[in-house]
């Protein structure tokens, strides 16, 4: 290790604990600020950030224009993009400010719709694949099932900063979430589902995992196959669950009926078809609440041409199923 690398490692060891300390202080302080002025203040800063963060603002506007430009004016797109920033900021603020909440009764600003759809599938004992999306306060979406009394597991990828990673995992585990570290945990994951657990999964972002191209808002989007593969291997139903924030700053957690897994005997065809069904359910919900999804994400970044060219390259770990 070079002298430069050694110093970098030393600086990290000093910097990260200090950073986590200030994060904890920030989280603790937010507990004592009334929710209404806190959210209003952070919404103001979100609008300021929207003006200042040119790169993220441009990506958001471009994506919204690509999808809604035929029905919205540039001025309307601009307002939608700004609302995206405000919604994401308020969602994050609420999540941080309530990090000490460990009981569902503490969340006075939540409404749950369709719990019977989860309950009837959970009681079958085959496990439930909870299909979430980055809509609304998605971190709340992940911790609500365990708070509602359903044994729940989720896979997370460890962050480079172990102290911050520990902070995030602790916040989830305090609310009943069983955390499974990504990498080498696939067998453990299957065991949890086969025991009847709810399993949290998201497939609405472009990632370097095994996937297929499906239609998302009329464009080909490379989409993880995880939900379809797990449904096939375990027989667990896939139940879509989505969160959105109302103008009154309440959160509505909507649990939809399970999406039946369609089998034809051809796994490749089945994975493609079922992943499309899951993606369509996500798209339909986003269309109802378009400013609550993370439009700054480069959802259509991976192209079919890239996958054809680099599928054997370790830089892009993907598999295209034709």
| Residue 8: per-residue pLDDT | 62
Q: Is the dihedral of CA 305, 307, 313, 316 positive or negative?
A: positive
| pLDDT of 320 over the 50 cut | no
Domain region containing 176? 104-322
Over residues 224-234, the mean pLDDT reads 95
Question: Is 83 domain-assigned?
Answer: no
What total number of domains does the chain contain?
Answer: 1
Residue from 203, 251, 239 nearest 92 by CA: 251
pLDDT tier at 321 (50, 70, 90 boundaries)? Answer: very low
Share the mean pLDDT of the chain.
Answer: 88
Task: Mean pLDDT check: name the lowest of 108-112, 160-164, 190-194.
Answer: 160-164
| pLDDT of 164 over the 90 cut | no
Q: What is the pTM of this model?
A: 0.88
Over residues 189-197, the mean pLDDT reads 92
Question: How far is Cα 106 from Cα 194, in angstroms, rounded to an integer?
Answer: 31
| pLDDT of 41 over the 60 cut | yes
pLDDT tier at 318 (50, 70, 90 boundaries)? Answer: very low
Residue 259 near residue 238, CB atoms below 8 Å: yes
Question: Is 81 domain-assigned?
Answer: no
Over residues 93-115, the mean pLDDT reads 94
pLDDT tier at 213 (50, 70, 90 boundaries)? Answer: very high
Over residues 271-296, the mean pLDDT reads 97
The 3-state DSSP class for residue 207 equals: coil
The 3-state DSSP class for residue 66 equals: helix
| Residue 67: per-residue pLDDT | 97
Question: Is 95 domain-assigned?
Answer: no
The predicted-structure confidence for 2-37, as pLDDT tens digits, reads as follows 666 666 666 666 666 777 777 788 888 989 999 999
Over residues 260-287, the mean pLDDT reads 96
| pLDDT of 314 over the 50 cut | no
Question: Is 37 domain-assigned?
Answer: no
List b or e across 237-276, with b for residues whose CB sees 16 or more CB atoms inside 10 angstroms: bbbbbbbbbeeeeebebbbbebbebeeeeeeeebbbbbbb
The predicted-structure confidence for 106-136, as pLDDT tens digits, reads as follows 999 999 999 999 999 999 999 999 999 999 9
Question: Is 165 domain-assigned?
Answer: yes
- Tell me the CA end-to-end span of the chain in Å, nearest whole number: 45
Give Cβ neighbours of residue 25 (< 8 Å, ≥ 6 apart): none
Task: Mean pLDDT check: name the lowest of 118-132, 179-193, 266-280.
Answer: 179-193
Question: Is 147 domain-assigned?
Answer: yes
Question: Is 237 domain-assigned?
Answer: yes
Question: Is 182 domain-assigned?
Answer: yes
Task: Mean pLDDT check: name the lowest of 160-164, 206-210, 297-301.
Answer: 160-164
């Amino acid at each position: 290790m070079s002298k430069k690398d050694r110093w970098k490692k030393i600086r990290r060891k000093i910097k990260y604990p200090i950073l986590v300390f200030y994060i904890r202080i920030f989280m603790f302080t937010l507990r004592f600020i009334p929710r209404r002025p806190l959210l209003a203040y952070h919404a103001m800063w979100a609008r300021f950030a929207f003006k200042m963060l040119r790169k993220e603002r441009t990506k958001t506007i471009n994506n919204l224009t690509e999808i809604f430009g035929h029905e919205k004016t540039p001025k309307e797109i601009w307002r939608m993009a700004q609302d995206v920033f405000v919604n994401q900021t308020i969602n994050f603020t609420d999540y941080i400010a309530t990090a000490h909440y460990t009981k569902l009764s503490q969340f006075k600003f939540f409404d749950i719709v369709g719990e019977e759809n989860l309950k009837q599938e959970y009681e079958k004992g085959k496990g439930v694949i909870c299909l979430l999306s980055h809509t609304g306060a998605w971190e709340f979406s992940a911790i609500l099932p365990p708070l509602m009394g359903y044994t729940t597991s989720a896979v997370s990828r460890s962050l480079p900063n172990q102290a911050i990673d520990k902070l995030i995992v602790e916040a989830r585990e305090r609310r009943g979430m069983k955390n499974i570290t990504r990498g080498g945990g696939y067998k453990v994951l299957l065991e949890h589902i086969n025991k009847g657990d709810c399993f949290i999964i998201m497939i609405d972002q472009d990632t370097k995992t095994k996937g297929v191209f499906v239609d998302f808002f009329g464009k080909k989007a490379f989409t993880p196959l995880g939900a379809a593969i797990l449904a096939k291997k375990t027989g667990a139903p896939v139940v879509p669950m989505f969160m959105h924030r109302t103008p009154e700053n309440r959160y509505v957690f909507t649990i939809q009926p399970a999406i039946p897994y369609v089998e034809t005997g051809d796994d490749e065809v089945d994975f493609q078809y079922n992943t499309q069904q899951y993606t369509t359910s996500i798209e339909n919900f986003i269309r109802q609440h378009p400013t609550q999804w993370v439009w700054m994400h480069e959802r259509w970044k991976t192209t079919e041409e890239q996958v054809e060219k680099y599928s054997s390259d370790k830089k892009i770990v993907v598999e295209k199923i034709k």
